[in-house]
Structure 1
Amino acid sequence: MPFRWLSLAELVGIIAVAIAALGYWDTHRERAQTDRERAAEAREKQAEAKAGALKLTFLMTGAPESSGERLRLATVHSEQVIQTQAVSFPSEIRGDAVQTTGNPRIEAGWFEDGLGKALHARGDKRHQGRMPVGVATSFIEDGQEKTDQAIYRIGYSTHPRVLRADKVEMEGLSLVRRGVTGDLQAAVNAIWTHENPPPAKP
């Protein structure tokens, strides 16, 4: 095929196609960069939202006092101020919830006798154990009253006493489940029964 010089119109057309291709590639590159920046911004916002949600999470710690006779309850976040609480024990151990106002705590005397009877019925002679408790809390945060229902676990040890029920010494508190909805007492009973099956009937 004989060689032929391109006409000016053809040359202009080729240049136009090349320019269009370069423009498309540049636009695509800018769009991809924009998409990456938007994705990074979305991830950053999601991380900030998650951090904010964690910051607002209501969580308590329990510090032993008086040789373990009492757990002093406190929130992890100082801006959350506890107003009232209802502490529910397994029904086998104590049938009614203990109400507190402005003095968040758990006392061994609230459940000591019931725990001793429950362990004796099972022939459980271990001197260490854990027991679930439900805590319904009303607290103030940012000037607003809020509520929380959670299940915690008390670590304890027992110590024999003459002519009296074993002394219970509480060691600490750990979270089992937060954001409990519905019947808190029933949830506590279910955990207790699962971990401590009732004694077999003769």
Structure 2
Amino acid sequence: MTEETSPKRLPIRWLTLAEIVAVAALVITGLSFWDSHRERIREDRDRAAATAEKQAEAQAQAKAAALKQTFVMTGAREDGGAKVALTSVNEGQVIQTQTVWFPPEIRGDSVETTGNPRLEAGWIENGLRKHAGKARTGRVPVGVLTVFIEDGQTKTDRAVYQLGYSIHPRTLRADKVELEGLSVARRDVSGDLQAAAGNLWSAR
């Protein structure tokens, strides 16, 4: 009977101090690289956010500047449609005077206002009764030359708007014309504003 021989144990090799230092240095280097990588990502993210914020601010300023340089009116129906009160969409623009033209078929002469910008149904009711046809509702173009003040400077605007109206039959009396509202049709119109309004009326 033979004796069983025990397996040989592999010799244990301890790391030398130099090797331990080298491994530690490698670990520290890896951690430092990872920290610097995360810091660089964070800085890039912060830089991108700051750039986006500056771009948004610049766009907002450009939009505000463009709005400030633009003159557009809005109209509010008043007195049951007897008139439409006009105001600028920009609160910094104050309307001083206006000269208003309608298509020649609707009204031949112009109307001027001072300090009370408006459009009145009485100015065009006879013309609409004659030339609006069978339509009970519609839009009539109106050319408007506006003098307004902005930042202490006097400026002018030339535009054509569409003035909404409705015609209501009445017994034993002429049809009643009511104004409904206002929308811009053309801006920065050169030349004859009444002709521009007349062309839109003819092409309606």
TM beyond 0.5: yes
Distance in 2, matches of 1:161 and 1:145, equals 48
Which among 135, 139, 142 is matched to residue 133 of structure 1? Answer: 142
Give the structure with higher Rg (CA): 2
Q: 1:105 aligns to what?
A: 118
Distance in 2, matches of 1:116 and 1:171, equals 13
Distance in 1, matches of 2:90 and 2:64, equals 14
Could you say what secondary structure the match of 1:92 adopts?
A: coil
Cα displacement string for residues 101-130 of structure 1 (whole angstroms, at most 9, x for unaligned residues) = 3332223343233323323xxxx2333333
Distance in 2, matches of 1:78 and 1:18, equals 59
Distance in 2, matches of 1:50 and 1:171, equals 32
Structure 1 unpaired stretches of 5+ = 196-202
Which among 37, 46, 69 is matched to residue 59 of structure 2? Answer: 46
Matched, 1:31 2:44: yes
Do the aligned partners of residues 38 and 78 (structure 1) sit closer, same or farther apart at CA in structure 2, a change above 3 Å counting?
closer
Q: Which amino acid aligns with 1:173?
A: G
TM-score, length-scaled by structure 1:
0.67
The answer (yes or no) to whether the contact 2:103–2:201 under 8 Å persists in 1 is yes
Q: 2:182 aligns to what?
A: 174
Q: CA deviation at 1:39?
A: 0.7
Could you say what secondary structure the match of 1:126 adopts?
A: coil
Q: 2:10 aligns to what?
A: none
Q: Which amino acid aligns with 1:148?
A: D
Structure 2 unpaired stretches of 5+ = 1-12
Do the aligned partners of residues 26 and 49 (structure 1) sit closer, same or farther apart at CA in structure 2, a change above 3 Å counting?
same
Aligned residues: 186
Which among 166, 170, 181 is matched to residue 156 of structure 1? Answer: 166
Distance in 1, matches of 2:189 and 2:100, equals 15
Q: 1:118 aligns to what?
A: 131
The answer (yes or no) to whether the contact 2:164–2:179 under 8 Å persists in 1 is yes
The answer (yes or no) to whether the contact 2:71–2:88 under 8 Å persists in 1 is no
Q: CA deviation at 1:168?
A: 4.4
Matched, 1:82 2:91: no
Q: CA deviation at 1:35?
A: 0.8
Could you say what secondary structure the match of 2:183 adopts?
A: strand
Moved more, 182-191 or 125-134: 182-191
Q: 2:8 aligns to what?
A: none
Distance in 2, matches of 1:75 and 1:176, equals 12
Q: Which amino acid aligns with 1:194?
A: A
Q: CA deviation at 1:173?
A: 1.8
Distance in 2, matches of 1:190 and 1:52, equals 33
The answer (yes or no) to whether the contact 1:61–1:76 under 8 Å persists in 2 is no
Do the aligned partners of residues 180 and 54 (structure 1) sit closer, same or farther apart at CA in structure 2, a change above 3 Å counting?
same
Distance in 2, matches of 1:153 and 1:69, equals 13
Distance in 2, matches of 1:181 and 1:17, equals 70
The answer (yes or no) to whether the contact 1:82–1:137 under 8 Å persists in 2 is yes
Q: 1:199 aligns to what?
A: none
